[in-house]
């Protein structure tokens, strides 16, 4: 994908469950490239557009906390850490 608008458009067609799956695929990944940054920014925008509360995985700068172990499930429009479920 070339730019943030392309990522944003692609994510508009995704369901909430698909957005969660895309987020979980990023958890624990340590490499970084600019395209990944654009993808994650568009993913945050997609969560916002669908009214999904992702604060449980938000870091102090407003980005995602993608540390290993931060996989989530969706419960009533709120992301919840899987580790809190067990």
Tens digit of pLDDT for each residue in 17-72?
A: 999 999 999 999 999 899 899 999 999 999 999 999 999 999 999 999 999 999 99
- For the segment 5-24, the average pLDDT, to the nearest whole number, is 94
Long-range contacts of 44-52 (CB under 8 A, 24+ apart): 45/8, 45/11, 46/8, 46/11, 46/12, 46/14, 46/19, 47/19, 47/79, 49/12, 50/16, 50/19, 50/77, 51/77, 52/16, 52/19, 52/77, 52/78, 52/79
Domain boundaries, the chain: 4-84
Q: Is the pTM of this model over 0.85?
A: yes
Is residue 2 over pLDDT 60?
Answer: no
Predicted pLDDT at 53:
98
């Amino acid at each position: 994908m070339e730019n943030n608008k392309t990522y944003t458009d692609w994510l508009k067609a995704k369901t909430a469950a698909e957005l969660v799956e895309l987020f979980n695929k990023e958890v624990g990944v340590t490499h970084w490239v600019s395209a990944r940054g654009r993808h994650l920014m568009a993913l945050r925008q997609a969560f916002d557009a669908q009214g999904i509360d992702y604060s449980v995985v938000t870091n102090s700068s407003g980005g995602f906390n993608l540390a290993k172990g931060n996989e989530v499930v969706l419960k009533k429009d709120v992301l919840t850490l899987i580790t809190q479920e067990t």
